Structure 1
Amino acid sequence: MRDKILLTYILTDLLFVASGGLLIIFALVVKSEVTSTPTLDNVARDLLFNMCPLNAAIGNSVMIFFTFLMTVPAIVMPMTRGWLKFGGYMTVICGVFTLIIGLDIWFETLKSRKNLSNIWNVQPASTQSLLQQKFDCCGYANSTSPPFVVDSTCPNALAAAAQIGCVGPFSKEANNFLDIIFTGAFGIVGIDVALILATAMLLKDRKEKERYRHIDEKSGAGAF
């Protein structure tokens, strides 16, 4: 049973460090993509990526890697509990950090229309035009608020007035996109919780092992 407990802990620990790897890969790839030239395919996605706390995700992944390194002595030293406890405390901190990131992104979805309005207003006309073409719309709230950008989708005021504003489809896209991001963050928190439980199980197992060892030493039977 003790071997199974340790194996469970190791497997959960590997999932834990893998989640850190996914976090840092995601953050670094996104950082490189958002600086690329906007196109019809990536314009909305890259603007939404900018709403994500990428630097916080990188910091969280670094903390996860550090915590994993602290758990290695707990694995290779079968009698130690100090490293195991320290790793458990660090896992709690990592889990709280990831939870905060997920909640921050979730809160952004609750005020997406306001946030997207601010994002829209600071974009150059070329980017606004790409968004109009992507969502088949004119202007943000409507064709006059703010004024639409003349392009193939909105060639004149009459055609633009017949189109919807971009706020609806853009907000829907943002909510669906950010839902996936914060759901992924909460999934990582689930891995953190699993590792915390595995740590508690292994701590209890080693405590019992230590107690039996002391009993055997007192009875003269030698170390457990």
Structure 2
Amino acid sequence: MLSKKLIGAWAFFVICLMAAGILSLTLSIVWRRPNLMLNLTFSGVNLTAGSVLGITLLATFVLSLLVITQRGTLGLKILNWILLVNSVIILLIGTYIWIFTLHERNNYHTVFGQQSNETKILIQDMLKCCGYFDATDEVAFGGTTCPNQAAATALNNFCVTPITKFTDLTLNNIFSTVDGFMAIVIGLFLANMCVIKKRQEFERFEKIDSKRGMHSFF
């Protein structure tokens, strides 16, 4: 029989895995809604990756509930292989975020430049800035903040700092959350290994008892 502490630890990590999957999937859906800064921060590919991660974690959660109710260790071993796949996905996403933040100012220069003039004007009005690196760089004229080149030059406030301040905080929070997902997967993997070991011991004792029963019969 499995100890209550081991069952409790296993259940804790499984619940955390479910919560991680729900969080990842929910945010990936919610952040697709119209929002100037979030839409600038995340591309459709980024949000799709978050959805895939959320679905994968939730599928693993469902599988874990199925295999724990079965006898033997085969299902649990399969679960551990799937957890390794989860960890690879999490590692890839975390590494991508980390590498992206190393050149954040230049990366968002490209992203900002890809926006329509209407979107640029809305961002400039919101952040009270004109242009990206300077008043002539990727600037869009219109709105209340940057109606023309003279106003943009006179303002002398460029969008690179407020944009990357928001994106850096957001991406760092996501990176920390993804690190937390990795801790959950590792914790469940280790708890699963303990369950496998205990079940193997139980199966071995069952075989010993059955052999003893056969000897006593003869």
TM-score in terms of structure 2 length: 0.87
1:98 equivalent in alignment to 2:90: yes
Q: What pairs up with 1:1-224 in 2 under 5 angstroms?
A: 2-31=3-32, 33=33, 36=34, 42-50=35-43, 53-77=46-70, 79-162=71-154, 163-220=156-213
Is this contact kept in 1: 2:120–2:139, CA < 8 A? no
Amino acid at match of 2:141: V
Distance 2:8 2:139 in 1: 62
- Root-mean-square deviation (CA), in Å? 2.2
Runs of 5+ unmatched residues, structure 1: 37-41
TM-score in terms of structure 1 length: 0.85
Identical-residue share of aligned pairs (%): 29
The list of structure 1 runs, each at least 4 consecutive aligned residues, that deviate by more than 4 angstroms after superposition, is none
Give 1:207 shift: 1.4
Partner SS, residue 129 of structure 2 = coil
Is this contact kept in 2: 1:143–1:157, CA < 8 A? yes
Q: How many residue pairs end up in the alignment?
A: 213
Runs of 5+ unmatched residues, structure 2: none
